[in-house]
Amino acid sequence: MIAERRALLQERVTQAFIDDYGTEPALLVAAPGRVNLIGEHTDYNDGFVLPCAIDYETMVAIGPGSGSQVDVIACDFDSDRDSFDLHAVFAKQAEEWKNHVRGIAASLTDKGVTLNGANIAVAGNVPQGAGLSSSASLGVALAKAFTELNQVGALNETELALTAQHSENHYVGCACGIMDQLVSARAERGAALQIDCRSLTTKAVPIAEDLAIMVIHSGVQRGLVDSAYNERRVQCEAAAAHYGVAALRDVTIAQLEVEKSGLDDLSYRRARHVVTENTRTLAAAEALKAGDLAMLAKLMTESHASMRDDFEITVPSIDRLVEIGAELLGETGGIRMTGGGFGGCVVAIAPKSQVAALEVWVNEHYQTPDGGQARFILCAPSSGVSVLSDGAAH
Ligand code: GAF
């Protein structure tokens, strides 16, 4: 499936590049979106996450430009164009996609990387506004494309991810953590990626061949920058200050209770979500490794309840969708909301033999807020960013 989807994307982005710049691109770079299996809002608390890259990606075609000028064409936005000078001070644009491109160029410059002008075309197939990290995949693909074109060999995957996060934080205006960018840069095919968001060390956790990862879109659109995401981050920092630690990662479950006096109920519940979610994430990685689906299902159910009751980032449609899915899956598979919250998608991990039944069951019992059906996106755990040559990653 990925091969066909990738071929279409490659054709689209290459053709747009040729039509606009009258020459073949020097290289094509692809970076995947992601789905998070467990570990939500833990990354910016220096905690643990367990996402996997998916076989939906953003592709960048790039070639040398003139002087210090960068020209960009966005195939997915009606072939909208942008043009900027690498020496000019970053100026925020009304169209968000432009801020991502300008933000990556500015972030690389901030890092001391010298860039030359470039011609760029961008196209992607990561569903947007679904919480599947289309923005992170764009950022990572652009960072890789710019550095490869300029032959800046020194940037490894972690540095690419940090550059993309810096761009989001400083230029796009989203205080996101490192999870999305790091998995888009470092993921391994056929595996989830356990990330320690403090040390940035990662471990691939293989996903058995007979398991399916199903993303189900609730039909509730979400917008990360506009949501209460940044507010949650501030609340977590305030809770960490109460416990006298650098980040909530450092609070133990025992300490959470013993030292809660003086902390208001809301901040306490925010902290409890993060502290317990870290424990669940590590346990879930072990359960996945051991093929213990009943344990994984239990941990995902608890994670969802914690997001709903303590972190308050779910919405009624999503809660209903998870409830419906769990009714069918029972202990045979896990299901929970995935991503930043306030709409978007649910992730289910279950034997491939359950996929068809789950789809029928959800369609029978769930309706999107506008009376339609949920959208099902079957995902394969994929590898991180790559440079493509004749359609094959190297
Ligand atoms: C969004 C952010 F971008 C991530 O950094 C992470 O915090 C996630 O929400 C919630 O787990 O995807």
CATH number for 273: 3.30.70.890
160 and 18 within one domain:
yes
Respond yes or no on whether ipTM tops 0.90: yes
119 and 253 within one domain:
no
DSSP secondary structure, 317-349, as one string: HHHHHHHHHHHHHGGG-EEEEESS-SSSEEEEE
Angle at 116 between CA 114 and CA 120, to 5 degrees: 125
222 and 195 within one domain:
no
Query: What pLDDT is stored for residue 223 in this prediction?
Result: 56
Structure tokens of 377? 């996106």
Known catalytic residue: 20?
Answer: no
pLDDT in tens, 231-262: 999 999 999 999 999 999 999 999 999 999 99
182 and 217 within one domain:
no
Residue 276's domain spans which residues?
211-379
122 and 73 within one domain:
yes
Confidence of residue 3 (pLDDT cuts 50, 70, 90): confident
Catalytic entry in 43, 46, 180, 310? 180
pLDDT in tens, 300-351: 999 999 999 999 999 999 999 999 999 999 999 999 999 999 889 999 999 9
Q: Please work out whether the CB of residue 277 comes within 6 Å of at least one atom of ligand 1.
A: no
pLDDT in tens, 167-191: 999 999 889 999 999 999 999 999 9
373 and 230 within one domain:
yes
- Given a cut of 80, whether residue 288 has pLDDT beyond it is yes
- Given a cut of 60, whether residue 392 has pLDDT beyond it is no
Cα→Cα distances 197→26, 42, 165, 233, 351, Å:
34, 8, 13, 15, 29
327 and 265 within one domain:
yes
DSSP state of 370: T
Mean of pLDDT over the chain: 95
Query: What pLDDT is stored for residue 389 in this prediction?
Result: 72
Q: Give the residue whose CA is nearest to atom 2 of ligand 1.
A: 176
180 and 50 within one domain:
yes
Query: What pLDDT is stored for residue 1 in this prediction?
Result: 64
Residue range 264-276: average pLDDT?
98
Whole-number Å distance, alpha carbon 179 to ligand 1 midpoint, is: 7
Number of structural domains the chain divides into: 2
Whole-number Å distance, alpha carbon 333 to ligand 1 midpoint, is: 23
Distance in angstroms (rounded) separating the CA atoms of residues 285 and 47: 14
pLDDT in tens, 89-111: 999 999 999 999 999 999 999 99
- Percentage of the chain lying above the pLDDT 70 cut: 97
How many CB atoms are closer than 10 A to CB 2? 17
Mutation test of ligand 1: which of 138, 174, 225, 229 has the most ligand atoms closer than 8 Å to its C-beta?
229
Nearest to 162 by CA among 187, 188, 136: 136
- Given a cut of 70, whether residue 391 has pLDDT beyond it is no
Answer yes or no: are the C-beta atoms of 163 and 108 closer than 8 Å.
yes
Structure tokens of 345? 């998608």
Nearest to 138 by CA among 247, 269, 33: 33
190 and 95 within one domain:
yes
Distance in angstroms (rounded) separating the CA atoms of residues 274 and 299: 14
pLDDT in tens, 72-89: 999 999 999 999 999 999
Query: What pLDDT is stored for residue 46 in this prediction?
Result: 98
Atom of ligand 1 lying closest to residue 49 CA: 11
224 and 196 within one domain:
no
249 and 342 within one domain:
yes
Answer yes or no: are the C-beta atoms of 171 and 102 closer than 8 Å.
yes
pLDDT in tens, 130-164: 889 999 999 999 999 999 999 886 689 999 999 99
CATH number for 85: 3.30.230.10
Confidence of residue 277 (pLDDT cuts 50, 70, 90): very high
Distance in angstroms (rounded) separating the CA atoms of residues 282 and 50: 8
373 and 255 within one domain:
yes
